[in-house]
Chain A
């Protein structure tokens, strides 16, 4: 197990029994091997060791899955049920998840290094809550009757778009699964999910629970495998109507290109970010320091909305830097099964090395290392919480998404400067503002070009709050009723009317 950075003695804790039940592809309601028979390793980032071999899907398997999803969409009960009936089954699915919280949290911990306690308390229950939200939206999907300028009657029908491909990342395997799958199911679509190769296990368990809940065969299919093979097959499939993707900007481009070159399927992308957290002079410094720490070190910095650029107004800057260095010492790194740990390992070797590389780049570029900066432990992929100061806007550590526990701390003078610096990025996913001044809040929230603005809070996600990026952080929303629109298309139906008493 990884050791800690600050020398505190690690308390004893239990690692639960690890039982991996589902490692095959889930197609048309059954767990099956890949047609090629190939399997791939999935590793535990706490140790780097292999925990399971999982079926490796490729184009042929994706074809089978899409075929099953197409058959289910065109002929099975799922789209033909009322929204209410779909909702009842989805509620059952949510209840089943609640009955298996611990087992599911274990899978995400050993796959993605996620904190076990947070998984049990927040991640998994959050997923069942999201599923319930959309279950209850399924019978409230409305089109409109229109106000046409001639003797015509018209209305829009919101129809399920068809077969959806979901390509999801490894940082929140459970949350991401339900971000995509819940609204698509509620809308009456069928789907093929390609989970990240780093974190295939919980998705397969969810497929099992879906079947148990009564979701008909073929409606939800899971093809585990790699991006260039399985993922690419999904993005370029001629019989998938829509692909929804969360992941890196680089791969997002590839997905969009593949969609364009194949059948012009619609695309939604939730990509990276380099989100600014702007702290004004009137902020409570302790609150601000804790928030800033929370905003970048949570989930080991492997979160698209990480507040990786922290701008502190000059009046409180020195005090902030001092306290930030202190506070970071209390942020413990270690085995994610340990309930007292704040930060588990980076998800895999590639990410681990990437983060360390960026730390080196930061040093080379001349930023000052305030705290951290090193790997910890001799096993697994643990990195110390790291803070750089004296960072300049054009440095790579400030422009590029690191996806690790590395904070860039910068000073600003005026509100105009803060806005300009905050917007000086190709990304636009989120932003945080810490101030109690009403006018500052209103002005800055409207001025920053990002999809979600958190005022005096961070990571304030909610099932009813639409979430998605501006600029190169992507397009399309997850959560909220808006998310349903991704999985619906609008059909206008127009008929002449004669002798209507009104128009």
Chain B
């Protein structure tokens, strides 16, 4: 078991029984056609938790076929939005009955905090599902104001078979972020979960069936990106791909969609989000929020506020306090309720973060705290802060996806805006100030999809979320998200002798 940065010993936690390890196609759990399996490991120890069926092109083909059949002939799109909503509500209730088990699975698969999973992650996914369940009977087109003697209206039709490729950092939330609106819209879905975190998705498939989601409407094919993922993105019979993950893979997916059947694509990619703290900010609140913004979920979050800009008036005091706060972050077994930060998700990510820490040192940034792994087992890293960072350093340009904060001093509001925007990304930004004019100006000036004022990580089922620039396009959450899974059809008829036009 790993020890944390401050030396206290943590107890282990009993691994939950892993019940579902096969592919879920057309309502059944099945082996991969090749019979192949792959290992999924526990990042607390590096040990194998389970062997999971490994899908390849053949399996993806079967899943897409089932989804196509379910869409073209099955009940799911033919039910009213109300009826789909009732089933999705049942699904939400079933998930709620298994919160502890699901949180434990994400804990051992992705190193996610168990208490947080039970209190926030899984209930948040349930909340998302309920939001879309009750949106299903409120999807409206419009009647139009045509200039000729024609009547016209738009129909919002389900787009068809949707391919969902999700990452490993929030296995449950990501699953429902994509699947809920797609199902609500009347689409059928094939999900390719991240190979690092295949387990909770399979449990969700089982609960979906129990809730009454018809066979073929939801399929889960676990496997690797270059095989299963690529098969899905290049499939000629998939109508849309919805992806959350790294920008590199996002490019591959978009190209794949272009070279196959021009399926529509939505991408939620990486970020290097700025957190801008003005002189009038409450210092303790600022320090707490800035730490959470980059250390939460071990920094494995696309919107991590990894670049912290502090105005010069409070900079020195901020530095003093943030080091203290960072030292107080407890790193250890995610099942321990006293722990703030679990292990990085796997060896690859772990080594990558450590490499970026070396880059930071090499490029001349000042290491204020952390900078080392902790424990001799698993993938634990200390909360790390660099100061004197410049925008052209690798640690300021690239998304590290780990608990590494880059601290930068600024003088004027114009400087803050310019430096905040000095990134190819544009996912989120935070602003800390009580001045209404600063808040309004900076929020409109920062080119990012979500701007948090005096808060951070405030996600809400009703708030659209997505990127600008190379952080991607398309929105999750909110009613906007359903649009990704709908197509607009205009229907036009001539009218004769209408008393009005």
Contact = CB atoms under 8 A, between A and B. Distances in A.
A497 B441 contact: yes
A443 B134 contact: no
Nearest to B479: A140
Interface string B479-499: 100000000000001011111
A84 B85 CA distance: 15
Contacts of A13: none
Contact of A140 (B135, B496, B498): B135
B82 A443 contact: no
B134 A438 contact: no
Contacts of A502: 444
B279 interface: no
Nearest to A134: B134
A212 to B, nearest CB: 19
Interface in B370-427: none
Most buried by B among A84, A87, A137: A84
A88 B66 CA distance: 34
A398 B494 CA distance: 34
A72 B140 CA distance: 34
Contacts of B131: 84, 139-140
B418 to A, nearest CB: 11
B43 to A, nearest CB: 33
Taking residues whose C-beta sits less than 8 angstroms from the other chain, chain A's interface range is 20 to 34
Contacts of A443: 495-498
B138 A137 contact: yes
A466 B499 CA distance: 22
Interface in A450-466: 463-464
Contacts of A501: 444-445
Contacts of A439: 495-496
Contacts of A140: 131, 134-135, 138, 462, 479
Contact of A137 (B134, B441, B445): B134
A270 B22 CA distance: 57
A136 B151 contact: no
Most buried by B among A129, A137, A442, A495: A442
B131 to A, nearest CB: 6
B137 interface: yes
A464 B138 CA distance: 7
B137 A463 contact: yes
Contacts of B151: 442, 446
A87 B138 CA distance: 15
B437 interface: yes
B218 to A, nearest CB: 21
A463 B82 CA distance: 9
Nearest to B447: A501
B82 A87 contact: no
B138 A136 contact: yes
B486 to A, nearest CB: 16
Given A133-B137, A139-B462, A446 B500 contact: yes
Contacts of B134: 87, 132-133, 135-137, 139-140
Contact of B85 (A136, A446, A499, A500): A136
Interface of A is mostly: helix
Given A133-B137, A137-B138, A140-B135, A499 B441 contact: yes
B498 A446 contact: yes
Nearest to A141: B462
A36 interface: no
Interface string B116-159: 00000000000100110111011010000000000100000000
Interface in B335-375: none
A153 interface: yes
Given A139-B462, A500-B441, A502-B444, A446 B138 contact: no
B440 A133 contact: no
Contacts of B462: 83, 139-140
Contact of B82 (A83, A129, A137): A129
A137 B136 CA distance: 10
Contacts, number: 82
A446 B495 contact: yes
B436 interface: yes
Interface in A148-162: 153
B461 interface: yes
B498 A442 contact: yes
Contact of A442 (B89, B127, B133, B495): B495
Nearest to B413: A499
A153 B496 contact: no
A483 to B, nearest CB: 12
Interface in A167-200: none
Contacts of B130: 84, 87, 136
A139 B82 contact: no
Interface string A93-136: 00000000000000000000000000000000000010011011
A135 B479 CA distance: 16
Contacts of A132: 134
Given A133-B82, A136-B135, A442 B493 contact: yes
Contacts of A442: 151, 493, 495-496, 498
Contacts of A500: 440-441, 444-445
A489 to B, nearest CB: 20
A129 B82 CA distance: 9
Nearest to A416: B497
A492 interface: no
Contact of B499 (A129, A142, A447): A447
A500 B441 CA distance: 6
Contacts of A495: 436, 440
Interface string B158-176: 0000000000000000000
Interface in A421-477: 438-439, 442-443, 446-447, 463-464
Contacts of B140: 481
Contacts of B444: 153, 497, 500-502
Nearest to A500: B444
Interface in B425-446: 436-437, 440-441, 444-445
Contact of B133 (A83, A84, A136): A136
Contacts of A463: 82, 137
A238 B479 CA distance: 38
Nearest to A501: B445
B453 to A, nearest CB: 13
Interface of B: 81-82, 85, 89, 127, 130-131, 133-135, 137-138, 140, 151, 436-437, 440-441, 444-445, 461-462, 479, 493, 495-500
15 contacts: A133-B82, A133-B137, A136-B130, A137-B138, A140-B134, A153-B444, A443-B495, A443-B497, A443-B498, A446-B498, A447-B497, A447-B499, A498-B440, A499-B445, A502-B444
Given A133-B82, A497-B440, 11 more contacts: A84-B127, A84-B130, A136-B135, A137-B138, A153-B444, A439-B495, A443-B497, A495-B440, A497-B441, A498-B440, A499-B441
Interface of A: 83-84, 87, 91, 129, 132-133, 135-137, 139-140, 142, 153, 438-439, 442-443, 446-447, 463-464, 481, 495, 497-502
Closest 5 CB pairs of A and B: A136-B134, A500-B444, A446-B498, A442-B495, A497-B440
